[in-house]
Amino acid sequence: MSNTPHKKEEESRSSMERSSEIIGDQHIGTSYQTPMREDAFDMSDGEKIKKIEKHFKGIMETLGLDLTDESLSGTPHRVAKMYVKEIYSGLNPANKPKLTVFENKFAYSEMLVEKDIAFHSNCEHHFVPIYGKAHVAYMPNGKVVGLSKINRTVQYYAKRPQVQERMTIQIAQDLMDSLHTENVAIVVEADHMCVSSRGVNDTHSWTVTSFYGGKFKEDPSVKNEFLEHIRAKK
């Protein structure tokens, strides 16, 4: 009888570990919003860099690396700074690009397509790169946005631990909110190194996700025009 609580605890832990492995291996997202703690921004960037540096140093030492070597001695700080200031900078709302919209003075009502937007992200399940390109389109509803802002929006949502499906929806939702229209379409094509460099080690497959809103969803001819623009060569 004395072993029963301990056994139940082990079974519960094993069940959670199995569930975690299934989610990670199948690359399953659990929420539309990026999961964040309420105190995520209580620390400054500098404080985060110091803390990550300490932890990453521990990881390297645990792996058996000699941090007295000149080539490795600065790696913990470089990685910490890269995490906070670069590849995960999209976690901080302060870094979100402001989508400045303008009056559609030319009364342009046709489709606007920004294609082949290159991005680099990281899989939230294994923290290895996802890289590819995004194709974005919208049909103006009284407002237009500068082309560079579309690229910056893609980069912002890519610069965080991600699931490709979530990133696609986040980009679309941001554009719909800023442009006050549902006539937005997104297609994202990406390679996942959690598939190619580990696990199944498939170096040939790639993943496509999409979002179609408003006329892109309701009218097949509009959707097909967008897809034709994507397929068209320069």
From first to last of the 234 residues of the chain, give the pLDDT tens digit.
555 666 656 655 565 455 555 455 555 556 788 999 999 999 999 999 999 999 999 999 999 999 999 999 999 999 999 999 999 999 999 999 988 888 887 778 899 999 999 999 999 999 999 999 999 999 998 889 988 999 999 999 999 999 999 999 999 999 999 999 999 999 999 998 877 666 666 666 789 999 999 999 999 999 999 999 999 987
Task: Tell me, yes or no, whether 56 and 101 share the same domain.
Answer: no
Task: Tell me, yes or no, whether 214 and 188 share the same domain.
Answer: yes
Task: Tell me, yes or no, whether 220 and 125 share the same domain.
Answer: yes
Calpha distance 87→67 (Å, rounded): 24
DSSP 151: H
The CATH number assigned to the domain holding 181 equals 3.30.1130.10
The CATH number assigned to the domain holding 75 equals 1.10.286.10
30: its two tokens? 């659990």
Task: Tell me, yes or no, whether 109 and 216 share the same domain.
Answer: yes
Task: Tell me, yes or no, whether 55 and 123 share the same domain.
Answer: no
Task: Tell me, yes or no, whether 203 and 116 share the same domain.
Answer: yes
Q: Compute CA 34 distance to the chain's CA centroid, rounded to the nearest angstrom.
A: 9
- Is 2 a member of any domain? no
Calpha distance 15→36 (Å, rounded): 24
Cα distances (angstroms) measured from residue 151 to each of 110, 135, 136: 20, 10, 9
Number of domains in the chain: 2
Task: Tell me, yes or no, whether 169 and 103 share the same domain.
Answer: yes
**Domain end call among 57, 87, 117:** 87
- Is 31 a member of any domain? no
Amino acid 102: pLDDT: 87
- Is 78 a member of any domain? yes
Task: Tell me, yes or no, whether 65 and 181 share the same domain.
Answer: no
The candidate with the shortest Cα–Cα distance to 29, out of 203, 224, 207, 186, is: 207
Amino acid 186: pLDDT: 98
Q: Please name every residue paired with 137 in a beta bridge, in sequence order, or none if there are none.
A: 113, 185
Helix (H) or strand (E) holding 102: strand 101-103
Amino acid 72: pLDDT: 98
Amino acid 206: pLDDT: 86
| Enzyme catalytic residues | 123-126, 164, 192, 194
Amino acid 199: pLDDT: 62
- Is 39 a member of any domain? no
Task: Tell me, yes or no, whether 160 and 212 share the same domain.
Answer: yes
Task: Tell me, yes or no, whether 58 and 149 share the same domain.
Answer: no
**Domain end call among 58, 87, 116:** 87
- Is 33 a member of any domain? no
144: its two tokens? 């237009």
106: its two tokens? 């030319």
Q: Identify the residue whose tokens are 């679309």.
A: 172
The candidate with the shortest Cα–Cα distance to 133, out of 114, 112, 111, is: 114
Helix (H, G, I), strand (E, B) or coil at 175: helix
Calpha distance 44→140 (Å, rounded): 39
**Domain end call among 35, 66, 87:** 87
- Is 92 a member of any domain? no
Domain with 58, as residue range(s), is 44-87
Task: Tell me, yes or no, whether 83 and 154 share the same domain.
Answer: no
Task: Tell me, yes or no, whether 66 and 145 share the same domain.
Answer: no
Burial class (CB in 10 A: 0-12, 13-18, 19+), 107: exposed
Q: Does the pTM exceed 0.95?
A: no
Amino acid 40: pLDDT: 95
Calpha distance 20→28 (Å, rounded): 10
- Is 37 a member of any domain? no
- Is 6 a member of any domain? no
